[in-house]
Amino acid sequence: MRYIHVSKEEFSLIKIDDYKLFLHCSVYPPSEDTFFVFDSIDIFFSSLKFKPVAEPCTGSGFISIKLAMLGANLLASDLNFLACYVAKENLKKNTLYFNVNVVCGNVLDFVKKESLSYVICNPPYFPEKVKGIDRFLWWDGGEDGVGLIKKLISSAKYVLKKDGVLLFLASSFTNLIQIKIALAENGFLLKQTITKDLGEEELILFYATKEI
């Protein structure tokens, strides 16, 4: 894929393949990692019809568009209010929208216990703020890059039904051992990882199921 655009204007409109996307300069634009998750969803799911699915850290909502098109009963969320605003507009423009909710909040803090079948997320996963860039919400995964991922895993344990699926991205810059420990400590079985080589960095997509 396909097209990356960061406008100097506050708001901009872009096109990626057949999708029209509305962006704001404070919102993470669809990038290599976004496209990797977006494309990989087809490997794992052929349909999500009527399944309760959440995509925390939705950014522009691009991954959520795919989930909604697969029929998910979808909750998209982000801590950045403007991300929620553009994600909502993008979901309206590109999907049927009747099965979609967008909420502003911290990871999955506002979701009822054992109410979801799938949690899918491209979270911030870098170990430190990227130098010279103050859009830290995009990248800053906290200490070792796993701060937010640990929070994601423990929240997913709470909100997922038994056998529910957690699919999330990290990178070779993230402390992967800590991720595996957090998954095991929270009762997840790591079933599969798939990777994408970006040269200096490798993206790693984790597919885990909640066992208890």
Ligand X SMILES: C[S@@+](CC[C@H](N)C(=O)[O-])C[C@H]1O[C@@H](n2cnc3c(N)ncnc32)[C@H](O)[C@@H]1O
Tokens encoding 130:
């990227």
Gap between the Cα atoms of 126 and 61, Å rounded: 20
Nearest-CB residue to ligand X? Answer: 59
Q: Which residue stretch of 10-18, 119-127, 158-166, 178-186 sits at the interface with ligand X (rule: CB under 6 A)? A: 119-127
Q: Report if residue 63 touches ligand X, rule: CB under 6 A.
A: yes
Gap between the Cα atoms of 118 and 123, Å rounded: 15
Rank residues 86 and 208 by Cβ distance to ligand X and give the closer one.
86
How far from the centroid of its chain's Cα atoms is residue 22's Cα?
Answer: 18
> Would you tell me how many other CB atoms lie within 10 Å of the CB of residue 42?
10
Q: Report if residue 195 touches ligand X, rule: CB under 6 A.
A: no
Q: Report if residue 181 touches ligand X, rule: CB under 6 A.
A: no
- The least distance separating ligand X from the CB of residue 212, rounded to whole angstroms, comes to 25
Among the listed residues 23, 34, 89, 116, the single contact to ligand X using CB under 6 A? 34
Q: Report if residue 124 touches ligand X, rule: CB under 6 A.
A: yes
Q: How does DSSP assign 132-174, residue by residue? A: T---HHHHB--GGG-HHHHHHHHHHHHHEEEEEEEEEEEETTS
- The least distance separating ligand X from the CB of residue 71, rounded to whole angstroms, comes to 20
Element (H, E) at 35: helix 32-44
Contact residues for ligand X, defined by CB under 6 A: 28, 30, 33-34, 37, 56-60, 62-63, 78-80, 83, 106-107, 122-124, 137-138, 148
